[in-house]
């Protein structure tokens, strides 16, 4: 096994994707170095990441200044975002070819405004797919009921999908069903399925953030014996929830239905662990990587988490370990009045609202920057 923990993680069957993108990273040679040194095999983006990239420095000014007149702020955003994603796809193209379409993907997200509109999601995803024009782009679709329906339609069209903002096991099940049904639609139409890919982005640390907050409120009024019980549950729900998602993945990608699709060349829809930075400084900074290691998974890490894992991450198969204990933890939370479904419904609503706010802020900043550039050019 490799001495570099990131290479060891890759050898354990987990793909490492960078949860970050900006133009300087793409054109300075740093991304190529990271691909080699850190075993990166993909990249994700979202409105918050692009907001940060566009707000800092001048890397986007030339393209924005040269953009055709009359474009809306959203159209200008799509112009610069699809340029970055296209360039990133080209950097990962060798990974894509080497793995015969198994890896090397870069994600770009549909507008959060489309989250509950199947038709709008499909139309926007098709537009972004065509604008990027690379086989290793993935279109990020929110894991709502409408998003699951859109996923089936997009997979049937041969468009790669990253289903994002998954918190609930039930939502994960709906997304797996959508993926398999979309593949079946293609098979019935006589279309190939061997280069259609999807990941199911299951969010991790936010679950502990919310449940720990509720547990802390209980603990403040608890008797000493109850306090010890509460302490034992702190920081454990997120990993338990994700492990059960992986168990569902293993169950649903087996049996006669999946075997028929696999025989046609289909690939599994890998679970992708998102939100894996540690929000509570009392917890180990790589806990949401170390506790979810196993084959056919992806972990998308922000740069700080990636650096931390390279420095002191421990690699061993953990994602399917102690499942009975993990189920018991979630059952205990339910008995204490913290139902997982209520938590995950809240987190999905908050996640959609957060991305919508980031997108609105991004569009406003982009509009202001474009106007400033136009004013400077006119002087």
Ramachandran class of 268: left when φ > 0, alpha when ψ lies in -120 to 50, beta otherwise: beta
Q: Quick check: 208 and 280 in contact, CB under 8 A?
A: yes
Q: Give the other-Cβ count within 10 Å of 296's Cβ.
A: 17
Distances in Å between the Cα of 212 and the Cα atoms of 67, 115, 169, 226, 343 are 47, 28, 19, 15, 11
Distance separating alpha carbons of residues 61 and 67, to the nearest angstrom: 10
Could you give the CA distance from residue 230 to residue 222 in angstroms, rounded to a whole number?
A: 9
Task: Classify each residue of 176-213 as buried b or exposed e, where b means 16 or more C-beta atoms within 10 Å of its C-beta.
Answer: bebbbbbbbbbbeeeeebeebbbbbbbbbbbbbebbbe
Phi-psi map region of 325: left, alpha, beta (phi>0 left; psi -120 to 50 alpha): alpha
Catalytic residue among 140, 213, 357, 369: 140
- Decide: 111 and 77 in contact? Cβ < 8 Å: no
Clarify whether 140 is annotated catalytic. yes
Catalytic sites, residue numbers = 140
């Amino acid at each position: 096994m490799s001495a570099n923990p990131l290479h060891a993680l890759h050898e354990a069957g987990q793909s490492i994707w960078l949860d970050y993108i900006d133009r300087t990273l793409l054109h300075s040679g740093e991304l190529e170095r990271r691909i080699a040194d850190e075993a990166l095999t993909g990249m994700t983006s979202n409105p918050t990441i692009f907001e940060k990239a566009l707000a800092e420095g001048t890397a986007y000014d030339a393209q924005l200044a040269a953009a055709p007149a009359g474009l809306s702020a959203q159209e200008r955003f799509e112009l610069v975002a699809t340029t970055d994603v296209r360039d990133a796809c080209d950097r990962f193209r060798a990974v894509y070819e080497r793995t015969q379409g198994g890896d090397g993907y870069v994600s770009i997200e549909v507008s959060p405004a489309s989250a509950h509109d199947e038709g709008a999601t499909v139309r926007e995803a098709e537009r972004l797919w065509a604008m990027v024009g690379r086989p290793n782009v993935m279109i990020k679709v929110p894991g709502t009921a409408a998003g699951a329906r859109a996923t089936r339609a997009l997979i049937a069209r041969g468009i790669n999908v990253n289903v994002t903002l998954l918190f609930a096991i039930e939502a994960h099940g709906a997304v797996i069903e959508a993926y398999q049904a979309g593949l079946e639609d293609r098979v019935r139409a006589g279309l190939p399925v061997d280069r259609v890919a999807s990941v199911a982005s299951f969010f991790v640390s936010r679950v502990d953030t919310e449940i720990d907050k509720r547990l802390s409120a209980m603990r403040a009024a608890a008797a000493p014996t109850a306090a010890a019980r509460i302490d034992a549950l702190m920081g454990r729900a997120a990993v338990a929830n994700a492990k059960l998602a992986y168990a569902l993945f293993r169950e649903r990608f087996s049996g006669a239905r999946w075997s028929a699709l696999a025989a046609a060349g289909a690939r599994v829809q890998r679970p992708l662990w998102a939100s894996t930075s540690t929000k509570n400084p009392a917890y180990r900074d790589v806990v949401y990587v170390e506790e979810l290691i196993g084959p056919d998974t992806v972990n998308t890490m922000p740069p700080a988490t990636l650096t931390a894992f390279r420095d002191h991450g421990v690699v061993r198969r953990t994602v399917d370990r102690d499942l009975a204990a993990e189920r018991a933890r979630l059952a205990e939370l339910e008995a204490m009045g913290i139902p997982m479904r209520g938590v995950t419904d809240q987190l999905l609503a908050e996640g959609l609202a957060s991305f919508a706010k980031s997108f609105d802020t991004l569009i406003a900043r982009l509009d202001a920057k474009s106007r400033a550039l136009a004013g400077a050019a006119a002087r």
